[in-house]
A and B are shown apart, each in its own frame.
Chain A
Amino acid sequence: MEGERDKRGLMDIQEEDFDVVVRISREDDIAIARQMAKQLAQEAGFSLADVTKIATAVSELARNIYRYAQTGVIMIRKQYQETNNPTVQVVAVDRGPGIEDLDLALRRGYTTHERSLGIGLSGVKRLMDSFEIASKVGVGTTVVVEKRRRKF
């Protein structure tokens, strides 16, 4: 697994497979990414609460990129696995410093930033249906999260 990752970077992800790609390099880009996510989830028919949860998750991931890696990309797409039950997938990729201890970073309340609650990543995990993270010191960080549209 480690060897696999090394060959291709952290995960095999192609920008052109996504509906929306937002480059994060200024603080304003966080709001743009959030807005794009919102629009996409709305189009896919998610409830207002779920649209808000997805937008909030994007906000957290984009802010982490801006804060810790300075630049990176947020990619978002709709996926239709079963009919009538689309999924929104959000991928955050950066080539920043990486995270040394992932368990620690995911722990509620852990932060290396002075003005933070340290609940971004753990919060994203709770808001979404699936959460995957890969990180390597000196290489960067990739987070992949998904939320499926509810039947009711």
Chain B
Amino acid sequence: MEKSQLGILVEELGTSDYERKLWQKLLQEATSGAEASELRERLREPLLELLKELGEGSFGTKLQLVSKKLKEFPTVDILPLVLELCGELRQEKEQALQEFQQMLSELATPVIRIWTDVLLVPLVGGLDSDRAQGMVERLLERASSTRAKVVIVDVSGVPMIDTAAGGFLIEMFSAVKLLGADVILTGLKPEVAHTLVKLGIDFQMVVIARDLEDALRRAIAMLEEEKRQQQKIARVWGGGFLGEGEESDEV
């Protein structure tokens, strides 16, 4: 095929300079007579860019045009590659969307490390949503990976706790305790406390603090207590036995 003919086709296909450049590259590479495996490598980038630029639908229409006008264009050979790239793009898009949603939900309910080994979760809004579930999962991951010793849950931003929300909190507390961390609950408003008692929910499994300051004070007291325990065993083992000897070094 002559250069000029290819040029005409490129003009016909492209609606912008950028797009024309991509088509030019694609058509040149495709008709260069390269080996199948090498062709795949060379076509990958222009194909991907064109797919991104045009979307699957209009890229498909234009590809039909190309295969009609340009007899030596290896349509059959590149179709699997096109499908593969479409799949990749779709996945990328979905992943980006998921990451974005994740980010939004993290902004809405942060998990804050307020002290060594102490996490704070200020809950806001209703507790029966997907967002709340996502928050608990993040909290658990965080508590586990940082080996948090105490988790403070502040519910002052929760307007109302009904049976379902109470059940949700109980599950969350039990899950945290199964990781071996303690839970301190704070921020229960009088009206909330009132309904809780009426519902028969007493949160026996957690320590309840008056306010955030009280919660932090209690958390630190718990850490001190555990440190004493650790020192006790460190003495028994002769210090630094477990290799991660922050505490035992001081003995």
Contacts and interface: CB of A to CB of B under 8 A. Distances in A.
A45 B140 contact: no
Q: In the complex, which range does the number of interface residues on chain A fall in?
A: under 10
B134 A45 contact: no
A41 to B, nearest CB: 14
A94 B137 CA distance: 34
A84 B97 CA distance: 10
Contacts of B134: 47, 150, 152
Interface string B85-103: 0000000001001100110
Nearest to A151: B130
Nearest to A83: B94
A60 to B, nearest CB: 18
B171 to A, nearest CB: 9
Dominant secondary structure of chain A at its interface with chain B: loop
Given A152-B101, A152-B102, A152-B130, A49 B94 contact: no
A82 to B, nearest CB: 13
B133 interface: yes
B174 interface: no
B105 interface: yes
A45 B98 contact: yes
Contacts, number: 23
A152 B134 CA distance: 6
Interface string A138-152: 000000000000111
B130 A45 contact: no
Contacts of B105: 152
Contacts of A84: 94, 97
Contacts of A47: 134, 137
Contacts of A152: 101-102, 104-105, 129-131, 133-134
Q: Which among A49, A84, A151, A152 has the greatest number of chain B C-beta atoms within 10 A?
A: A152
A40 to B, nearest CB: 17
Contact of A45 (B94, B104, B131, B133): B94
B94 A150 contact: no
A48 B142 CA distance: 14
B168 to A, nearest CB: 12
A113 to B, nearest CB: 25
A72 B82 CA distance: 43
Interface in B77-122: 94, 97-98, 101-102, 104-105
A98 to B, nearest CB: 31
Contacts of B104: 152
Nearest to B175: A49
A92 B138 CA distance: 31
Contacts of B97: 84
Given A84-B97, A151-B101, A152-B105, A49 B140 contact: yes
Residue of B105, B129, B133 with most partner-chain A CB within 10 A: B133
A150 B98 contact: no
Contacts of A151: 101, 130
Contacts of A49: 137, 140
5 contacts: A45-B98, A47-B134, A49-B137, A49-B140, A152-B130
Interface of B: 94, 97-98, 101-102, 104-105, 129-131, 133-134, 137, 140
Interface of A: 45, 47-49, 84, 150-152
Given A47-B137, A48-B137, A152-B104, 16 more contacts: A45-B94, A45-B98, A49-B137, A49-B140, A84-B94, A84-B97, A150-B130, A150-B133, A150-B134, A151-B101, A151-B130, A152-B101, A152-B102, A152-B130, A152-B133, A152-B134
